[in-house]
Structure 1
Amino acid sequence: MSKKKNGLRKSGTAAGNREESRPDGAGGVSRRRLIGSAGAAGAAGLVLGAAGGATTYATTREERTALTTVGSTEAMFHGKHQAGITTPLQARGHLVAFDLVPGAGRKEAAALLRRWSAVAQRLMAGEVAKGGPGHDTGVALDAGPSSLTVTFGFGRTFFARTGLDDRRPAALDPLPAFSSDHLDAKRSDGDLWVQIGADDALVAFHALRALQKEAGSSARVRWQMNGFNRTPGATARPMTARNLMGQVDGTNNPRPAESDFEKRIFVPSDDSSASAWMAGGSYAVVRRIRMLLDDWEELTVERQEQVIGRRKADGAPLSGGSESTPMDLDRTGPDGKPLIPSNAHARISSPEKNGGAAMLRRPFSYHDGISDDGTPDAGLLFVCWQADPFKGFIPVQRKLDRGDALSPFIRHEASGLFAVPGGAGAGEYVGQRLLES
């Protein structure tokens, strides 16, 4: 029996998994099965030739074993909201923006979203992108769904290109400039945006490749970024993720159990509005934030904690308690100074200091190699979700821009704002209520 929780379900058992046929007629390996690997002693062997040469080979056991929990977990494609917003963080992510090709308009965009939605639904269920040999890369054939999510959004320019300017929400007005911006226009914005997340790197890449192929002659890739998080099961118990600075990151996120969560994160229904098609949707702010890790790592742990306002070891606020303890912004030390410094990142970005402004932060870390100067090109693919960016991200970022102690150690290098419509109902594709209204 399938188990569902938070839009996810665990699918597949040792006895109940289905087989898929192979072209040669032999029994194939379903994406809902794993081929068991050999034990440590027999995982690899050496065959010594008569001339003394050596050839290595890997062996696998012939018997099959059930998918692990990580591989069998499935996110639902259909629903009130798109998957990938409240879904737990996945180990691997890809962010990619597309521009419609010259001459492509509303008709072509609708056909593209229809194709993309069909592929996403299949892949999220752990199936191949298309039936038949040669239509699928086969890179993920042995894996289960692995919590794959595919999330689609529209950039500001999408509406002019499709003749839908009158349906563009006011919340998609351009983000203001910030002093910490060093933005690369070629890696910012875009007509269409896709977020892919999965707990297996091959499953995530498979989705990226399938969607790129389905874009066909309708759209071309504008930019693409790759990210990662800690793999589920790598810690003894579930824990808030750490970023590449080593800080616990996401402690103060709003939670679905909170009474005002829906109001803060998702667009309410409003049939009288030109943007009624956004009901159940959310707005994603995407920022590529480079971390100046060499400079950061020169600081003592105590100084790093003063910059952030939380203990590095466990994420607890410097005012005391555990990670989940609310910050006491008024508490002072023996010297009369606030225990959480006035310019600490956690203080400035807290809802208490921003009129209750909140956003759901759901980032990925990234590492794109070493720059010519020897510094790591690494940091955060920041993705945050809110019902209105002018009440969420923008007021908070304006305050951070004016005096955040973290600012000298980060650089915003790319940016985008996207309207992410609500989830597709059965028989619908994502964005249908906009494109066919």
Structure 2
Amino acid sequence: MNDGMNDSVNDSTDNDLTLSRRRLLGTVSAASATGIALGAAGGALGHATAQGDTPTALTTVGTSAIGFHGTRQPGITDPQQAHGHLLAFDLAPGAGRKEAAALLRRWSKTAEQLMAGKVPTDDTGIALDAGPASLTVTFGFGASFFDRTKLTSQRPAALAPLPEFSNDALDPKRSNGDLWLQIGADDALVAFHALRALQRESGDTARIRWQMNGFNRAPGATAKPMTARNLMGQIDGTNNPKESDEDFAERIFVPRDGDPTWMRNGSYAVVRRIRMLLDDWDQQSLAAQEKAIGRRKSDGAPLSGGTETTPLDLAKRGKDGQLAIAVDAHARISAPETNGGAAMLRRPYSYHDGFLPDGAPDAGLLFIAWQADPLKGFVPVQRKLDRGDALSRFIRHETSALFAVPGGAGEGEYVGQRLLES
């Protein structure tokens, strides 16, 4: 897993404005819940009232809303949700730039309504009684999209195919794609509702190439907020870049004067399905697992000492003279200080797709990494991991994709408009 299961940023003014517009936190009171629902014409509580029922106040998990419009798209720096769907579409034969623009217009309108807790026209009614539950929808373009729409002159150089890695066992049918959607919400029904609504909107213009479903811990499941824990039991994402870092925007987002112009304030998402060989992993002793990672399993602290957030001491040795963090430990190999500062913002989901014929769980990580340039973020880190990561014995990279995710849509715009109407 790239940039560490633990170790894997926007102009501050723009970021503050974006977040303040996006994060509209509700309260548990009936008055607040009613206010939010009534503000969303045809919303859940409006529906209940029309049926003559007494409205029930939504919890803060249900009422929390994130705005669709902004300098950057939602679903990148927003808090990780409990449920996620990743989908790639290919444009249908005969569909080109005009049809793609119409599709993105429809998708953007629907995403805006759903994220606000509103009910779109001809809605299925799947989530009539639910609030927005921190729903986000994020859109991206694959390299092949530019061929299909005859926009090859606008294809970013950073969207060049990722190199092959020796540990890859990729399924091409579940990799790449013309268009990409990332859906996240803190309620499973809300997430599925968005998935279904957007899939229906694709009509005859685009066909699903692949879809993956993921999950994380639900809000309130732990006594205090903490870094995510993956299916290997490891705390995952400790060394993610922080929005407070001076170089956060430089590492994660295309600058406001970047090229091509339609990608300004956008980012590049590397998406990989990484199956964990959990039966093999679980047979390892705790000490062996911690040595492979370079961190304690209980709290994520580095084996060189301290707490989870203590910087790695890569030179520290134990009483036996051996390095506290082994030379092939995942934390050491993926650390920015050993990769020329290369870093990316990891925002993954865990997944479980049943069991394989041999009885092993088909489970692992839906790895999503954001960066301003994959050649400076994902690629150098993965190359190093490919050469000698102790964790590589226990994982398999089975699918891979790279998408250009443009900046956010302004009021009255749809995502990708600056590209498709250029």
Identity %: 69
- Structure 1 residues 124, 32: closer, same or farther in 2, change over 3 A? farther
Structure 1 counterpart of 2:335: 350
Native 8 Å contact 1:80 1:425 kept in 2: yes
Structure 1 counterpart of 2:16: none
Structure 2 counterpart of 1:385: 370
- Structure 1 residues 6, 410: closer, same or farther in 2, change over 3 A? farther
Cα distance per residue 1:1-49 (max 9 Å; x no partner): xxx758321247512525989xxxxxx99425898xxxxxxxxxxxxxx
Structure 2 counterpart of 1:83: 74
Structure 1 counterpart of 2:142: 155
Q: Which amino acid aligns with 2:391?
A: L
SS of equivalent residue, structure 2 residue 306: coil
Q: 1:181 aligns with which of 145, 152, 168?
A: 168
Q: 2:192 aligns with which of 205, 210, 219?
A: 205
Native 8 Å contact 2:107 2:201 kept in 1: yes
Q: How does 1:7-406 map to 2 (within 5 A)?
A: 7-11=22-26, 13-16=29-32, 17=34, 30-31=43-44, 63-130=54-121, 135-270=122-257, 273=259, 275-406=260-391
Structure 2 counterpart of 1:59: none
- Structure 1 residues 387, 32: closer, same or farther in 2, change over 3 A? farther
Q: Distance in 2 between matches of 1:370 and 1:334?
A: 43
Structure 1 counterpart of 2:8: none
Q: Which amino acid aligns with 1:352?
A: E
- Structure 1 residues 340, 5: closer, same or farther in 2, change over 3 A? farther
SS of equivalent residue, structure 1 residue 381: strand
Cα deviation for residue 66 of structure 1 reads 1.7
Q: Distance in 1 between matches of 2:24 and 2:376?
A: 33
- Structure 1 residues 233, 92: closer, same or farther in 2, change over 3 A? same
Cα deviation for residue 279 of structure 1 reads 0.4
Cα distance per residue 1:402-428 (max 9 Å; x no partner): 000000100000000000000000000
SS of equivalent residue, structure 1 residue 180: coil
Report whether the alignment pairs 1:413 with 2:398.
Answer: yes
- Structure 1 residues 64, 29: closer, same or farther in 2, change over 3 A? farther
Q: Distance in 1 between matches of 2:201 and 2:42?
A: 25
Q: Which amino acid aligns with 2:31?
A: A
Q: Distance in 1 between matches of 2:378 and 2:369?
A: 8
RMSD of aligned residue pairs (Cα, Å): 1.9
Structure 2 counterpart of 1:53: none
Q: Distance in 2 between matches of 1:19 and 1:404?
A: 49
Q: Where do 4+ consecutive residues of structure 1 move more than 6 Å?
A: none
Gaps of 5+ in 2: 1-18
Q: Distance in 2 between matches of 1:312 and 1:304?
A: 8
Cα deviation for residue 64 of structure 1 reads 3.3
Q: Distance in 2 between matches of 1:72 and 1:383?
A: 26
Q: Distance in 1 between matches of 2:166 and 2:143?
A: 23
Q: Which has the larger radius of gyration?
A: 1
SS of equivalent residue, structure 2 residue 65: strand
SS of equivalent residue, structure 2 residue 388: coil
Q: Distance in 1 between matches of 2:355 and 2:42?
A: 39
Native 8 Å contact 1:32 1:145 kept in 2: no
Native 8 Å contact 2:43 2:119 kept in 1: no
Q: Distance in 2 between matches of 1:213 and 1:253?
A: 35
Instruction: Considering Cα pairs closer than 8 Å and 6+ residues apart, tell me whether 1 or 2 has the greater RCO.
Output: 2
- Structure 1 residues 98, 375: closer, same or farther in 2, change over 3 A? same
Q: Which amino acid aligns with 1:8?
A: R
Native 8 Å contact 2:215 2:350 kept in 1: yes
Native 8 Å contact 2:42 2:119 kept in 1: no
Cα distance per residue 1:70-120 (max 9 Å; x no partner): 111101100111000001110000000000011111000100000000000
- Structure 1 residues 29, 268: closer, same or farther in 2, change over 3 A? closer
- Alignment length, in residue pairs? 397
TM-score, normalization: structure 1? 0.88
Q: Distance in 2 between matches of 1:249 and 1:360?
A: 12
Native 8 Å contact 2:304 2:325 kept in 1: yes
Q: Which amino acid aligns with 1:10?
A: L
Cα deviation for residue 139 of structure 1 reads 1.1
Q: Which amino acid aligns with 1:404?
A: D
TM-score, normalization: structure 2? 0.91
Report whether the alignment pairs 1:431 with 2:416.
Answer: yes
Native 8 Å contact 2:45 2:55 kept in 1: no
Native 8 Å contact 2:275 2:365 kept in 1: yes
Structure 2 counterpart of 1:47: none
Cα deviation for residue 63 of structure 1 reads 4.2
More strand, by proportion: 1
Q: Distance in 2 between matches of 1:18 and 1:300?
A: 53
Q: Which amino acid aligns with 1:398?
A: R
Native 8 Å contact 1:287 1:381 kept in 2: yes
Q: Distance in 1 between matches of 2:175 and 2:279?
A: 26
Cα deviation for residue 286 of structure 1 reads 0.2
- Structure 1 residues 240, 264: closer, same or farther in 2, change over 3 A? same
Cα deviation for residue 335 of structure 1 reads 1.5
- Structure 1 residues 79, 351: closer, same or farther in 2, change over 3 A? same
